Structure 1
Amino acid sequence: MRKKIVAGNWKMHKNAAQTAELLNELVAKLPADTTAQVIVAPTFVNLAAAVSQLEGKAITVAAQNVHQAEGGAFTGEITADMLTSVGVNTVILGHSERRAIFHESDALIAEKVNTALKHDMTVIFCFGEELKDRQDKQHFNIVENQLRDGLFQIEKGSWSKVVLAYEPVWAIGTGETASPEQAQEMHEFIRETVRKVFGAEVADEVSILYGGSVKPENAVEIFSKPDVDGGLIGGAALKADDFLAIVKAAV
């Protein structure tokens, strides 16, 4: 049975006090019978405090990025060892903002994936097409290429540490959302692409999240699709009630 997962990517939001306040609210309001795995990804400077605050709670802390090197003269960067040393064992890689704003290539993301897996971290691997790709009917090719070039170098046994997050770039922070049917169509294609390379067992077990303007109003319908296993949530993750409503939808 695949895990249902709802992960909140806080991006560059929330200072230390605001982080603690939101985490307190999430802990207080998270229903005891929640079956989905809940993940939050605060900023780097608040990760250690978040891990401490959530110790023994049913919420996992993830980082939003990691450097591919083990150390060195890379001012402003963070290593996998630094993350795991403060109790962060999950990392988001390949997010569309990292690809577009920071010019991260598939090859670079592949290096980051390898480094994270080497440190036994769980990788939330993000990928997805831009609006022009979909308009040109190239969205399946783009997604297949991003998977192949950024992730398919890993060994079959490493898939237990991988979560896929499909995020159509045209639906991130725009208010636009892929229809539930569009999301299912792509998720089914993703699962079949994994199956062709790594076999049915891996494909059937890997969780595939949808990311792109998921809100309490549309989460139930999107998450009801057979190949959608939860969501990678942006803006709605910054409000406890909205985020928990989305968590509740992932059953």
Structure 2
Amino acid sequence: MNGTLAEIETIVKRINEAGLDGSTEVVVAPPALYLLKIKEELKPPAQVSAQNSYTVKSGAFTGEISPDQLKDAGVHWVILGHSERRSLFGDTDKLVADKTKAAIEAGLAVIACIGESLEQREKDETQAVVERQLEAIAAQISEANWKDIVIAYEPVWAIGTGKVATKEQAQEVHANIRQWLAKRVSQSVADSTRIIYGGSVNGKNSSDLASAADIDGFLVGGASLKPEFIDICKSKA
């Protein structure tokens, strides 16, 4: 929930002038109020994403946006299950899974967020938590649907705190997620699904994190509002 019209125009101008060559897929997720404006002004290859969507096509759900409305507006991506949605607004694993299914059925691509709290990490529950969150999604979709999903691992304890999982910590979880996909879905899905890292990523640490074998990109928070976002975009993962 950041940005004014003037600030967002500055960010869009920065991205448009960054010389992105399309080798890294860049998706920008503004507040819903600005989606159509940014879609009109953002130049390819950069794309636009919503930050959330609901489970049904239409109805009396004041304040929500349906995946079909996003599709109708030409918005191809949606972020679902972000830790703030889970912790602040009560999005359960089941609700995130239902939203994911609805988004895919509407023809959207989903950035599905998973991750553990500091308490869960300290109790050595990281893998159990991410597997539980992924299982809820896997139970709702087919193997073919995974081509439309990017998994974003975001340790909650590292979001907006300045604390960053080390490359080794992040790589371990990413590798375990890939192994889980191989066992639960298929080796093909495990090999092809992009798993990105989110949690205080910035221009200084992105290149090191990107060098890890199973980190395929980043879900960027506060740094996306700053010029260093372009440096992150150019960190080849």
Q: Identify whether the pair has TM-score above 0.5, normalized to the shorter chain.
A: yes
- Gapped runs of 5+ residues in structure 2? none
Match of 2:30 in 1: 42
Match of 1:163 in 2: 150
Q: How does 1:200-211 map to 2 (within 5 A)?
A: 200-211=187-198
Give 2:38's aligned amino acid: A
TM-score normalised by structure 1 residue count: 0.92
Q: In structure 1, what is the Cα distance between the partners aligned to 2:6 and 2:31?
A: 13
Give 2:232's aligned amino acid: I
2:184 aligns to what SS in structure 1? Answer: helix
Count matched residues.
237
Q: Does 1:191 align with 2:178?
A: yes
Q: In structure 2, what is the Cα distance between the partners aligned to 1:115 and 1:243?
A: 31
Q: Does 1:250 align with 2:236?
A: yes
Give 2:34's aligned amino acid: N
Give 2:13's aligned amino acid: N
Give 1:59's aligned amino acid: A
State the 1:15 CA deviation. Answer: 2.1
Structure 1 pair 197/212, CA: closer, same or farther in 2 (3 Å)?
Answer: same
TM-score normalised by structure 2 residue count: 0.97
Structure number with the bigger relative contact order (C-alpha 8 A, sep ≥ 6) is 1
Q: Choose from 13, 25, 48 the match for 1:24.
A: 13
Match of 1:5 in 2: none
Match of 2:109 in 1: 122
Q: In structure 2, what is the Cα distance between the partners aligned to 1:170 and 1:83?
A: 31
Task: Report if the CA contact (8 A) 1:34-1:248 is conserved.
Answer: no
Match of 1:51 in 2: 39
Cα deviation, 1:122-165, whole Å, max 9, x if unaligned, reads 00000000001110111111111111013442101111100000
Task: Report if the CA contact (8 A) 1:125-1:164 is conserved.
Answer: yes
1:92 aligns to what SS in structure 2? Answer: strand
Aligned identity (percent) is 41
Q: Choose from 162, 173, 176 the match for 2:160.
A: 173
- Gapped runs of 5+ residues in structure 1? 1-11
Q: In structure 1, what is the Cα distance between the partners aligned to 2:42 and 2:233?
A: 17
Q: In structure 2, what is the Cα distance between the partners aligned to 1:126 and 1:192?
A: 17
Q: Does 1:234 align with 2:221?
A: yes
Cα deviation, 1:84-106, whole Å, max 9, x if unaligned, reads 12110100000000000001101
Give 1:21's aligned amino acid: T
Task: Report if the CA contact (8 A) 1:51-1:86 is conserved.
Answer: no
Match of 1:3 in 2: none
